[in-house]
A and B are shown apart, each in its own frame.
Chain A
Amino acid sequence: MKYLDEFRNGELASIIAANIAREACPAGIYRLMEFCGGHTHAISRYGLADLLPAPVRLIHGPGCPVCVLPIGRIDQAIRLASDHGVILCTYADTLRVPASGNLTLMRAKAAGSDVRMIYSTQDALKIARDNPERQVVFLAIGFETTTPPTAVAIKQAAAEGLKNFSILCNHVLTPAAMHAILDVEGSVSLDGFIGPAHVSTVIGSKPYEVFATDYAKPVVIAGFEPLDVMQAILMLIRQINSQRNNGSAAVENEFTRAVTRDGNQKAQVLVSEVFELKDFFEWRGLGSLPNSALKLRPEFAGYDAEIRFGVDYVAVPDHKACECAAILRGEKRPQQCKIFGNVCTPENPIGSCMVSSEGACAAHYSYGRFREVSN
């Protein structure tokens, strides 16, 4: 495939790997967090850890939309479908996230709730148009990448006067989570970030500059292909080496084929027309963070399912043995969780990190658990 095969070339990967091995100081340590689940998945799927020398350690970050959704949010969606009889539309990964009472959206569906898997917000709008007698709620989740399509859907619904459509809004913000990783007590020490790919196409590279200036953490924005990740790691090692020789941290952009400093301004305007900052939002693992998520602006509040149906968010503690919170903070690795791979598996996930293929636990279970045996 044009524009993809070039970034999956094994020979080039081994050249970059050789450069990394040569430039990484054997006595040093390079703790790099890949923020995004997309990177976690690429690293695991292509076995990139095998191409890296011992001093380079990759730490999985919280950038997996379903992983950071707390139980109470899925409970709200299930209540909407079961108690209020709405057609609940959702992206596939969300169907299997564990909620209270041993439920998931998929189990709620099996028990008779009308839960439908969709590929885009346009599908949800179509369902609303086709079922004028039913209320249709879109479970809107995701970082900045998935927010503009939700904004488009809201504007379309408003323009069409679509009265039976609303959203359960869980759109969250990447920079807020990065702040939390660096600020929250108990989070891991990091030497640099592999910055988001798709999120950065929307928000640009500028919002990360504060992490270089105020926290002295290098950030390299990278695409989701394996060579992007390898090249970003090399760029981070060079920055960290330079920092250790009194240089300063910077935001660099490996993903220049898609990301600019200012990002997609049209999308940004669209999002700001429809959404505003929510005072507080509870993240799984990171706690309740200020200004870390979006809600609909007052003029679009009629499309807010929480208001329309009066379903309030109720915080629910995670399963006692589940280490998702510490894993999302980068503080623990999946294999350090007692229930990893025995009680908690992709077929029967206890924590959210075992649900999505972008989750740290699911990625390690599906692609890397042989390492636990051979080590």
Chain B
Amino acid sequence: MNINYIRPLDFKNGRIEMQHGSGGRVTAHLINELFAKAFDNPYLAEGNDGAVLPPVSGRLVMSTDSHVVSPLFFAGGDIGSLSVHGTINDVAMMGAVPLYLSAAFILEEGFLLSDLKRIVESMAHAAQEAGVPIVTGDTKVVEQGKGDGIFITTTAVGMVRDGITLSGNLAQAGDKILLSGPVGDHGMAVLSQRENLSFDAPIVSDTAALHGLVSAMLDSGAGLRVLRDPTRGGVATTLNEIAQQSGVGMLLNEAAIAINKPVEAACEFLGLDPLYVANEGKLIAICAPEDAVRLLAVMRAHPLARDAAIIGEVLADSHGFVQMITRLGGRRIVDWLAGEQLPRIC
């Protein structure tokens, strides 16, 4: 008789129970059988309270992000891949090479183990693809009705090499604004799934890790001032944030901002403005005007920015207005998002 026997996790029909978060043997079992196996790396395998990491030569960048998306699974990704990409991208936008991730899970009692497994494996795949190991983590369970299935918080640490300084307050009048591709794919993929809308061509989330693209952009030597990924609130909100931080205005050219046809149709149908819809695999770059064309060529050579474009320029404007020449030739403000356009998309 094996007196250390613990019943295997039932990944077919099993559900999360309160004891999975108790800190006892069942918790350890869940961690060992699911998380440690999927995230497999030597730091995690040590099984300590924290990961001891080797020294690095450069400034450290750290960023954290919580993920509460509903539905959990959507075309092009799920809460797992999103939680890896989103945090890697936040670090990458500071010009850093992402090195390590941590992941904290809040699970609701009753959550299907099969769904948890699918999500954890998706995270592991995304982390492996990005080359960024998940070196530490935490799991808590809340009673049924006190969560919404699963919430995931990830933290990333990266290193930025000397000579690179990117910040939202560095945009200057005359700088060019570049966008890496069509807008609104992620938000509309999630929303169309939630609203059961189907289109001739399905809308697929653009969720992706952007540090490879960023690395190519930095290597080009172009005078980059700001990088930012237009996630929640979309391109419009991100540009307003930068304009406020830098104390400048902006003038965009609507015709230069690409939107995939099904996204445009879905936005039209639901009365949404694609400029405010979330992206999870796009970036905005602000760079010195003389380097813009060269930077654009580098971006277009990368598979994640084939449709990159120069969408506008930075203006001197103490009011911080982001303005746009519309497709009709008129001029208008592209304002901060007022209220809430889309609930829970990332």
Interface flags, B307-346, vs A, CB<8A=1, else 0: 0000000000001010101111111110100110000000
Neighbouring A residues of B319 by C-beta, 8 Å? 370, 373
Residues A346 and B338 in contact, CB atoms below 8 Å apart? yes
**Given B255, B331, B335, which contacts A365 in the complex, CB threshold below 8 Å?**
B335
Residues A1 and B264 in contact, CB atoms below 8 Å apart? yes
Residues B329 and A14 in contact, CB atoms below 8 Å apart? yes
Interface window among A39-47, A176-184, A296-304, A314-322: A39-47
B52 beta carbon closer than 8 Å to chain A: no
Neighbouring A residues of B328 by C-beta, 8 Å? 8, 10, 13, 46-48, 51, 226
Q: Which residues between 209 and 267 of chain B lie within 8 Å of chain A, taking CB atoms?
A: 255, 261, 264-265
Given contacts A1-B264, A1-B265, A4-B268, contact A50 B331 (CB under 8 A): yes
Q: Closest Cβ of chain A: how far from B204's Cβ, in Å?
A: 19
Neighbouring A residues of B326 by C-beta, 8 Å? 45-47
Q: Closest Cβ of chain A: how far from B199's Cβ, in Å?
A: 11
Neighbouring A residues of B321 by C-beta, 8 Å? 370, 373
Residues A369 and B333 in contact, CB atoms below 8 Å apart? yes
Q: Closest Cβ of chain B: how far from A290's Cβ, in Å?
A: 33
Residues B335 and A50 in contact, CB atoms below 8 Å apart? no
Given contacts A1-B261, A1-B265, A1-B268, contact A51 B330 (CB under 8 A): yes
Neighbouring B residues of A46 by C-beta, 8 Å? 326-328, 330, 332
Rounded to whole angstroms, the CA-CA distance of A49 and B328 in the bound complex is 11
Neighbouring B residues of A346 by C-beta, 8 Å? 335, 338-339
Neighbouring B residues of A365 by C-beta, 8 Å? 335
Interface flags, A337-375, vs B, CB<8A=1, else 0: 000000001110000000000000010011111100100
**Given B265, B329, B333, which contacts A10 in the complex, CB threshold below 8 Å?**
B329
**Given A44, A51, A370, which contacts B323 in the complex, CB threshold below 8 Å?**
A370
Neighbouring A residues of B323 by C-beta, 8 Å? 370
A96 beta carbon closer than 8 Å to chain B: yes
Residues A367 and B333 in contact, CB atoms below 8 Å apart? yes
Neighbouring B residues of A17 by C-beta, 8 Å? 329
Residues B339 and A45 in contact, CB atoms below 8 Å apart? no
Q: Which residues between 1 and 29 of chain A lie within 8 Å of chain B, taking CB atoms?
A: 1, 4, 8, 10, 13-14, 17
**Given A1, A50, A347, A370, which contacts B338 in the complex, CB threshold below 8 Å?**
A347
Q: Closest Cβ of chain A: how far from B200's Cβ, in Å?
A: 11
Of A8, A10, A14, A119, most buried by chain B (CB within 10 Å of CB) is A10
Interface flags, A303-347, vs B, CB<8A=1, else 0: 000000000000000000000000000000000000000000111
Of B261, B327, B330, B333, most buried by chain A (CB within 10 Å of CB) is B330
Please count how many residues in chain B sit with their CB below 8 Å of the partner chain's CB atoms.
21
Residues B268 and A48 in contact, CB atoms below 8 Å apart? no
Neighbouring A residues of B338 by C-beta, 8 Å? 345-347, 362, 366
Neighbouring B residues of A50 by C-beta, 8 Å? 329-331
Residues A368 and B327 in contact, CB atoms below 8 Å apart? no
**Given A4, A13, A51, A370, which contacts B333 in the complex, CB threshold below 8 Å?**
A370
Rounded to whole angstroms, the CA-CA distance of A207 and B195 in the bound complex is 37
Q: Closest Cβ of chain B: how far from A22's Cβ, in Å?
A: 17
Q: Which residues between 194 and 242 of chain A lie within 8 Å of chain B, taking CB atoms?
A: 226
Neighbouring B residues of A8 by C-beta, 8 Å? 327-328
Rounded to whole angstroms, the CA-CA distance of A64 and B328 in the bound complex is 24
Neighbouring B residues of A373 by C-beta, 8 Å? 319, 321
Q: Closest Cβ of chain B: how far from A9's Cβ, in Å?
A: 8
Of A1, A119, A367, most buried by chain B (CB within 10 Å of CB) is A367
Neighbouring B residues of A51 by C-beta, 8 Å? 328-330
Beta-carbon nearest neighbor of A373 in chain B = B319
Of B261, B264, B338, most buried by chain A (CB within 10 Å of CB) is B338
Beta-carbon nearest neighbor of A227 in chain B = B328
Of A119, A347, A366, most buried by chain B (CB within 10 Å of CB) is A366
Residues B327 and A10 in contact, CB atoms below 8 Å apart? yes
Beta-carbon nearest neighbor of B343 in chain A = A117
Beta-carbon nearest neighbor of A47 in chain B = B330
Neighbouring A residues of B329 by C-beta, 8 Å? 10, 13-14, 17, 47, 50-51
Neighbouring B residues of A44 by C-beta, 8 Å? 332
Beta-carbon nearest neighbor of A229 in chain B = B328
Q: Which residues between 45 and 60 of chain A lie within 8 Å of chain B, taking CB atoms?
A: 45-51
Beta-carbon nearest neighbor of A8 in chain B = B327
Neighbouring B residues of A362 by C-beta, 8 Å? 338
**Given B264, B325, B335, which contacts A367 in the complex, CB threshold below 8 Å?**
B335
Residues B335 and A366 in contact, CB atoms below 8 Å apart? yes
Interface flags, A265-302, vs B, CB<8A=1, else 0: 00000000000000000000000000000000000000
Neighbouring B residues of A345 by C-beta, 8 Å? 338
Q: Closest Cβ of chain B: how far from A353's Cβ, in Å?
A: 14
Neighbouring B residues of A13 by C-beta, 8 Å? 328-329
Rounded to whole angstroms, the CA-CA distance of A10 and B339 in the bound complex is 30
Neighbouring B residues of A1 by C-beta, 8 Å? 261, 264-265, 268
Neighbouring A residues of B255 by C-beta, 8 Å? 10
Residues B264 and A49 in contact, CB atoms below 8 Å apart? no
Rounded to whole angstroms, the CA-CA distance of A48 and B329 in the bound complex is 8
Beta-carbon nearest neighbor of A42 in chain B = B328
Q: Closest Cβ of chain A: how far from B338's Cβ, in Å?
A: 3
Q: Closest Cβ of chain B: how far from A305's Cβ, in Å?
A: 26
Neighbouring B residues of A48 by C-beta, 8 Å? 328, 330
Beta-carbon nearest neighbor of A369 in chain B = B333
Neighbouring B residues of A119 by C-beta, 8 Å? 195
Beta-carbon nearest neighbor of A44 in chain B = B332
Rounded to whole angstroms, the CA-CA distance of A10 and B332 in the bound complex is 15
Neighbouring A residues of B331 by C-beta, 8 Å? 47, 50, 370
**Given A14, A96, A347, A367, which contacts B332 in the complex, CB threshold below 8 Å?**
A367
9 contacts between A and B (CB under 8 A): A10-B328, A13-B329, A14-B329, A17-B329, A44-B332, A366-B338, A369-B333, A370-B323, A370-B331
14 additional A-B pairs beyond A45-B326, A47-B328, beta carbons within 8 Å, are: A8-B327, A14-B329, A45-B332, A47-B326, A47-B329, A48-B328, A51-B329, A119-B195, A367-B332, A368-B332, A370-B319, A370-B323, A370-B331, A373-B319
Q: Which 4 A-B pairs have the closest CB atoms?
A: A47-B330, A346-B338, A50-B330, A367-B332
User: Chain B interface (Cβ within 8 Å of chain A)?
Assistant: 195, 255, 261, 264-265, 268, 319, 321, 323, 325-333, 335, 338-339
